[in-house]
Structure 1
Amino acid sequence: MSLALATLIYEWRRYLAAVIALAFSGLLILAQVGMFTGIVKGATATVDRSRADILILPAKLESLINSGATGLPARIQPQIYMNPEVAEVASWDGNGGRWTNVPKKGEKQVSEYISVMMVDPRKGAVTLPVDYPETVRVALLEPYAVVLDRTALKRLGVKVGDPATLRGHTVWVRGVVDGYPDINQATVVVSRDTFRMLGMMEKPDKTGPLMVRLKDPSKAIEVRDQLNAVSGGLYRAWTRAELSKANEGALMKEQIIGVFLGFSVFLGFLIGVGITSQTLRGAILANIKEFASLRALGVSMGSLRLIVLELSFWVGLVGLAATGVLTYGVYLLATHGGMPMGFPLNWVILVAVLLMAISLASGLMALGVLKKSQPADLLR
C-alpha cells in the first residue's frame, strides 16, 4: 500500500470535506442531466416502450422534442408494407383538448388543456407499450375510457373510476400507469376507437408518426436503410434506439438547458476546487512535520510532490464513488415519485473527468505548502 493511500485511510477525517465537495459538485451536474433526460423519457415513453423496431417520421424532423408537426401523408402507411420484412405498421396519433373534472362536494374543479395520445389495446399491438398491465389494456377496450400516469391524477383532480369531460365528451378514468409523466402538459391515453369518437381524427389524409414492427428485429438497421432508400424524400425511417438517442440530444441542445448545465459545470468546478484545494492544503500543513521527517531521511522534494498528487488522485476516486452513491439515492427518490431519470454515458464520463481534474488541480495548488517542510524545523 502506497504512503498516499495509507494516509487517506488512516486520516480520512482530514479529507472528508474534500470528498463531500467533489461528491456534491458531481451531483449538482448529474442530477440536472438526469432530470432533463427524464423529462424526455417521460414524454417519449410510449415510443420507447412500444413493440416498434422502426419509427417513420417526416423527412426533415430530427427528433420528437420541440420539432413541430409530426404528421405524414396517409398514403405512406401501405407503402411501408411493401418491404417483405415488415410485419405490422400502425400510426401513433396524438391531439389535445380541454379537460374538466367532475368535482365532488368540497373538491376543486380543474379545467386545463391536456395532450391525448392513443394506443391500440389489441394484444401484441405495435403501439401498445410492453409494460402496460393486462388490466390497463382491457380497460382501454371500453369506449370513452382513459388512462393516466399516476402523477397526473391529483393534477387533473380525478381518481380511478371518476368521470371527466374531454372535448365536450364524458370520459371515465379506468386505470393508471407508472413511468409516463409529462411535466409540461398532462397527458391521457385512449384507444384508437375512443380517439376517433372524441373527434380527434381531424385530417383523414394525415396520420401521426408510423410505428413499424419487423418479422426479424435484428434486421432493423438493414430495413431502415431500405425504407430510406425508397422514401423519395417523403419520410425518414429511424430505429427505435436511434430516435431515442436523438430525442435526448435534442433536449440538451435547447439554449436554456445549455445555459443551466454550463453554469452548473462552472459552479461545480469553482466549489470543488475551492474546497478541495483548501482541504488538501490544511491536511498537508497538519502533517508538515511528517513531510519534514521524510526530507531529513533523504526523500527528494519531487517525490514529496508526487505523494501529494497521488493523494489528490485517491481523494478524487473516493469523491467519484460518493457521487455515484448520492446520484443513485436521488434516482431512487425521483423514480419513487414517478419521475424517470436518465444518465447518458457521455455525461457520466464528462463528470468523472471533471471531478478528477478538480482533484488533481487542487493537489497542484496545495504543492506550495511543501516548502514549509524544512528538516531544520524538527529541531525547534
Structure 2
Amino acid sequence: MELAASAPALAKARTAKSPRPRSGKRTVPMVVKLAYRNLFHDRLSFFVTVVGIMFSVVLVAVQSGIYLGSANKIAAIIDAAPADLWVVPLGTKSYDDPSFLSGRERYMALSAPGVADSEDMLVSFARWRKPLGGETTVLLIGTAGESPKALPLNITDGSRAALEAPNTVAIDRSYFNDLGVNELNDVAELNGTTVKLVAITKRVRSFTTLPFVFTSLEESRRLAGANQDQASYQRVTLLPGANIETVRKEIEARLPDTEVLTQAQFRTRSQDYWLKQTGAGAALDAGKLLGLIVGIVIVAQTLYSSTKDHINEFATLRALGAGAGYIVKVILIQAILSGLIGYTLGMSLALIAIQAAQDTKLTIIMTTPLAVQLFAITIGMCIFAATSAIIKVVRIDPAVVFSR
C-alpha cells in the first residue's frame, strides 16, 4: 500500500529534468554552419565567386571614386576661392569657360546695398611654349595677392608672394612633363612673354587636360591682353546679416549683361556641364553598371551551380521536415558570406589603387558614406544574385530522396 502511494511521487521525481550546466559558449546556429560548410566545400567555386565579387567591388569603387574626384576637380578653383556671389559673363557654362567682363562690374557690385567687397579674378586660355620647343594650351588664372582668397593653394616650393614680381608663374608638379619644366626658376614662354617658375603646388589639377598656370592679377591681365579694369569673374562678399537673394537680384538688375550666381549655383553649373552635358559622367556611370553586372552574373552562376550540385542534400533536408524557408536562409547566408569576404578584399585593393593615384593626374576619392553605400550595394548584389538558386530550391520535390 505504501509503495503504491509513493509511486506517483517517484515517477514525478524521475521525469523532472535537472538543469544542464551552461558552458558559457554561444553555439553557432546550424543554418549558419550548413551555409559555411556548403560554401567552402567546393573551394574552386568559392575562389571564383570571391574573385568576381572582389573585382566588381574594385571596379565600382574606383569608378565611383573617379566620379567624386572629377566633381571635386571641376569645382576645385571655386572651392579654393569661395564667395557669397559670383558675377559671371552671360551664358557662362562652367568655370573653365571664360570670357571677359566689360570692366565696370566691380564698382557696380560694390555700390549695391549689402555688399562688403568684390574681388577681380581673371581666367583665360593661353599658349605655353616649352623651353625645349613645342606648344600647349593652358588655363591662366590671376588673383590679387592682397586678397585672403589669393590663389594658388597648396604651395610646396616657392611662395605666393613671389608671384607679385613681373613675369612669374606657379604650376602644379604633376604638369612638369606637359609643360617641359623640372624645377624652380625654370623659364618658358607664355603668350610670347618669357616667364619664370617661382612657385610649385601639389594636387592642384584641372578636370580637363589643360594645366592651371597661376600668376598675379595684374600680370594675368597683361599676359591675356585684357584692360587693367577687366576680369573674368567678380567674387562678391556680403555684409553680415545681408539677404543673399535680395543682394543677388539687386546686382543682377544693375548688370543686365551678366549672371549673378551663388557659390552653390556656380559650382553645380560647372559640374553639371562637364559630367552631364559632355557625357563624361555617363561613361563613369556605365563603368559602375558594368561592374555590378559582372558581380551579379558571377555570384548567381556560382550559387546556382552549388545549389544544383547539392540538390540531393537539400531534398533530404526537405524530406526530414526542413521547410523551404530554412533552406532559403542557407543560400542567403552563403551569398552574404561571399559578399562580406569579396567586399573586404575588393575595398582593400581599391584603397591601395586610390593611394597610388594620389600624386597622378587621376583623382580618386573614397569617403565613408561612399564606402557604406558600396557595402550595401555589394550585399544587395549578392542577395539578388541568389534568386536563381532560391527558385531552384523552392521547387525541390522531397520525393527525389526516395527515388535514388
Measured after TM superposition, the shift of residue 194 of structure 1 is: 2.0
Letter in 2 for 1:112: T
| 1:109-120 correspondence runs (5 A) | 109-120=133-144
**Conserved 8 A contact 2:101-2:231:** yes
**2:164 counterpart SS class:** coil
**Conserved 8 A contact 2:335-2:386:** yes
Deviations 1:318-337 (A, max 9, x none): 54454443332222122132
Identity rate, percent: 21
Which residue pairs with 1:157 in the alignment?
180
**1:146 counterpart SS class:** strand
* Aligned: 1:42 with 2:65: no
The one of 102, 108, 120 equivalent to 1:79 is 108
Distance 2:114 2:33 in 1: 61
**Conserved 8 A contact 2:169-2:215:** yes
Deviations 1:39-95 (A, max 9, x none): 453354222112534433345445436xx4454343222233345654432122122
Measured after TM superposition, the shift of residue 177 of structure 1 is: 0.4
Which residue pairs with 2:248 in the alignment?
228
Distance 1:32 1:45 in 2: 19
The one of 191, 209, 212 equivalent to 2:236 is 212
The one of 92, 95, 112 equivalent to 1:64 is 95
Measured after TM superposition, the shift of residue 355 of structure 1 is: 3.9
Letter in 2 for 1:28: L
* Aligned: 1:21 with 2:55: no
**Conserved 8 A contact 2:105-2:234:** no
Deviations 1:204-252 (A, max 9, x none): 5642122234565xx6xx6431232211254444443443344333322
Distance 1:349 1:206 in 2: 47
> What TM-score do the two structures reach when normalised by structure 2?
0.75
Measured after TM superposition, the shift of residue 27 of structure 1 is: 3.1
| 1:92-241 correspondence runs (5 A) | 92-103=121-132, 109-122=133-146, 124-132=147-155, 135-159=158-182, 160-182=184-206, 183-198=208-223, 200-203=224-227, 206-214=230-238, 223-230=243-250, 231-232=252-253, 233-241=256-264
Structure of greater relative contact order (alpha carbons < 8 Å, 6+ residues apart): 1
| 1:300-315 correspondence runs (5 A) | 300-315=323-338
Deviations 1:107-141 (A, max 9, x none): xx33223221112233x532335544594212212
Deviations 1:178-207 (A, max 9, x none): 112234122211111322342x24255642
**Conserved 8 A contact 1:178-1:338:** no
Distance 1:23 1:295 in 2: 33
Letter in 1 for 2:104: R
**Which deviates the most, 175-184 or 370-379?**
370-379
Letter in 1 for 2:248: N
Measured after TM superposition, the shift of residue 34 of structure 1 is: 3.0
1:30–1:161 Cα change, 3 Å: same
* Aligned: 1:331 with 2:354: yes
Distance 1:293 1:313 in 2: 24
**Which deviates the most, 71-80 or 34-43?**
34-43
**Conserved 8 A contact 2:138-2:210:** yes
Distance 1:54 1:331 in 2: 34
**Conserved 8 A contact 1:126-1:212:** no
Which residue pairs with 1:360 in the alignment?
383
Distance 1:181 1:272 in 2: 33
Measured after TM superposition, the shift of residue 351 of structure 1 is: 5.7
1:166–1:128 Cα change, 3 Å: closer
**Conserved 8 A contact 1:228-1:236:** no
Give the root-mean-square deviation of aligned CA atoms: 3.6
1:258–1:96 Cα change, 3 Å: closer
Letter in 1 for 2:55: F
Which residue pairs with 2:3 in the alignment?
none
Aligned residues: 367
1:372–1:49 Cα change, 3 Å: same
**Conserved 8 A contact 1:148-1:176:** yes
Distance 1:277 1:194 in 2: 62
**1:336 counterpart SS class:** coil
Distance 1:5 1:76 in 2: 70
1:47–1:26 Cα change, 3 Å: same
The one of 248, 255, 269 equivalent to 2:271 is 248
**Conserved 8 A contact 1:55-1:209:** yes
Which residue pairs with 1:271 in the alignment?
294
Structure 2 runs not aligned, ≥5 long: 1-27
Letter in 2 for 1:74: G
**Conserved 8 A contact 2:171-2:197:** yes
Deviations 1:129-164 (A, max 9, x none): 554459421221222111111111111111222111
**2:334 counterpart SS class:** helix
Distance 1:287 1:167 in 2: 73
Structure 1 runs not aligned, ≥5 long: 104-108
1:110–1:31 Cα change, 3 Å: same
> What TM-score do the two structures reach when normalised by structure 1?
0.80
1:346–1:99 Cα change, 3 Å: same
